[in-house]
Structure 1
């Protein structure tokens, strides 16, 4: 069957026909390109410009201040604290989400009865929006009427009931664990697809040779999941660096600034303090951080895939 691609690439096709098909291709691409330009390229260029201004986001008066915003970012203790919180939350989420996802995938892969039901149960939290999930966990963790503290009181462990979202020692932990509950099911599906692509003959041969379950996982299953690990680690890292919804609903960056991350700080200074110029500069810094970490992570994980 003759297709536009074959006509264009065929050396016997006349120049006139080739240009005709190319013009048709440009015609179909043009709407998407216009939308991409309006909603991605133009805002990106505008953000770079606003990062060098003291614009408040409302006033038509836009004053160019050069690198002042970036100098303030470099010297700001609040930004340093937000960066520290972001790194702690990112490392915790990347590790926990992937460990839990692998365990869930192994469990579902081994289950023979009601396996589809378990997949649905584990995947269901992923369907909830971050806002809904935040409200649910905020109610569960409420100090006065939350289900968790009520249960601890009922079983005689009232001494363990704490203000999960109001105590600086537990607020970060509460956000991390609730986010793992929401996100692990998504990565479980990716790992499950990887597990089902591993030939069962390898594990059967290892079992005959006397390898136990842990040895089979360590030397066969996990190395062959390297591609899935790369995808899930990168996605989890990007998601953790951009986390916003849960913090906005559950703690509002508090108590104090204990759970304020870079993403939430951008929102607070840009819309709460009407410092769009500074917030935009901070967003550019966050973009560079995500890009650098992603490139390093992908190169390291892909190198590991080759070595395996």
Structure 2
């Protein structure tokens, strides 16, 4: 008879190995090993197809991500052209090639009466971080509100609510590549459905926005599409939370003469407090992983206005074949999401007290 030390719960170690071994093997081969390789690569100068001259570079790749420099801009000459700061940067860089050789123009600022030009070793990375935060600020409240409204709708008893739930959830199970391609056709400037509807409603002189080609509209268009595609999943989470609220509370509120708004404000929202926090934070984490929509619809453009952290790391790692620097960016993203997840855990524990 086997001793207790040879058992894992109610199962033998051999049974655990047989059942969990294949999954653990796949996890190690496709998750753990690539992660460890990325950690090692991030401290080297390895290239994708040039592995014969690999050198240890320490924290060079990490300092490259956030390296900034500032120079005073020349006095204004009254030329209100949009590319004037870029031309000023190029002129200063020609005068000081040794100091600014590895820096590119990022932006211009006014600091204490001084007009300075800001350069970065990787301005696309910093723009990608800003774009990632912008996407999260756009999509999280929009998707959360849309999912909440859909959950409230389908939580009522009416004919066809099961079919309506299926319709709301169907975009979630559709491939993001397919969804992005379809929305690319809808948002096409000349032949897209969106602009055709504008012409049909407001006439032939209606504005025809370049939804994916305008730097001011491209990220908003992607956020709208992403919120529509992912709201069905959060709807199910909200729906389970709504159904977990005791019906006795609503019946007691009816006896006391509470209005529908009062029941929503004092029963529904407090009952969904933990659910709201979970949905908002999980949606935020998913928003920071934006890649497929950008890759299919805009390729990071126009003018890097939709480039995100994951997209930029993939572009650098595989298209530019700089595996070392791409690995450093992905590790930075991993640590950021890890800290965000720990913050979520602490917040959930505090709300549960």
**TM-score exceeds 0.5:** yes
Within 2, Cα distance between the matches of 1:37 and 1:237? 27
State the match for 2:345 in structure 1.
Answer: 298
Q: Please name the residue that 2:137 is paired with.
A: 91
Aligned match of 2:260: 213
Contact 1:226 1:305 (8 Å CA) reproduced: no
**Alpha-carbon distance between aligned partners in 1 of 2:337 and 2:12, rounded to the nearest angstrom:** 40
Offset of residue 268 of structure 1: 1.0
Per residue, is there more strand in 1 or in 2?
2
Map 1:153-192 → 2, pairs under 5 A: 153-157=199-203, 158-192=205-239
Q: 1:133 aligns with which of 173, 179, 182?
A: 179
Partner of 1:70: 62
Q: Secondary structure at the match of 2:202?
A: coil
Q: Distance in 1 between matches of 2:6 and 2:171?
A: 53
- Structure 1: which 4+ aligned runs deviate by more than 4 Å? 13-20
| TM-score (structure 2 length as normaliser) | 0.78
Asked if 2 retains the 8 angstrom alpha-carbon contact of 1:54 and 1:277, the reply is yes
1:85-124 aligned at under 5 Å gives the runs 85-124=131-170
Residue 37 of structure 1 is matched in structure 2 by 28
Q: How does 1:145-156 map to 2 (within 5 A)?
A: 145-156=191-202
Q: Which residue of 2 aligns with 1:80?
A: 126
Q: Residue deviations 1:258-301, cap 9 Å, x none? A: 01110110111111211111001000000111111121133224
Per mean C-alpha deviation after superposition, the further-off stretch among 48-57 and 18-27 is 18-27
Q: CA deviation at 1:16?
A: 8.0
Paired position in structure 1 for 2:296: 249
Provide the C-alpha distance between the structure 1 equivalents of 2:145 and 2:345, rounded to a whole number of angstroms: 18
Give the structure 1 partner of residue 45 of structure 2: 54
Q: Which residue of 2 aligns with 1:25?
A: 16
The answer as to whether partners of 1:270 and 1:279 remain within 8 angstroms in 2 is yes
Deviations, residues 31-60 of structure 1 (Å, cap 9, x unaligned): 333332222222111110001111121222
Which of 245, 251, 257 aligns to 1:198? It is: 245
Structure 1: segments with no counterpart, 5+ residues: 1-6, 8-12
Residue of structure 2 equivalent to 1:4:
none
User: In the alignment, does 2:319 pair up with 1:272?
Assistant: yes
Aligned residues: 295
Instruction: For residue 290 of structure 1, give the secondary structure of its aligned residue in structure 2.
Output: helix
When structure 1 is superposed on structure 2, of 243-252 and 158-167 the one drifting more is 158-167
1:135–1:250 Cα contact (<8 Å) kept: yes
Deviations 1:149-194 (A, max 9, x none): 0111122254332101101111111000000010001110111111
**1:230-265 alpha-carbon deviations (Å, 9 max, x no partner):** 432232122111111111111111111001110110
Match 2:189 to one of 143, 158, 161: 143
Q: Does 1:260 align with 2:307?
A: yes
Choose 55-64 or 135-144, whichever is displaced more: 55-64
State the distance in 1 between where 2:23 and 2:3 align: 28
Unmatched tracts of structure 2, length 5 or more: 68-121
Asked if structure 2 preserves the Cα contact closer than 8 Å seen for 1:101 and 1:185, the reply is yes
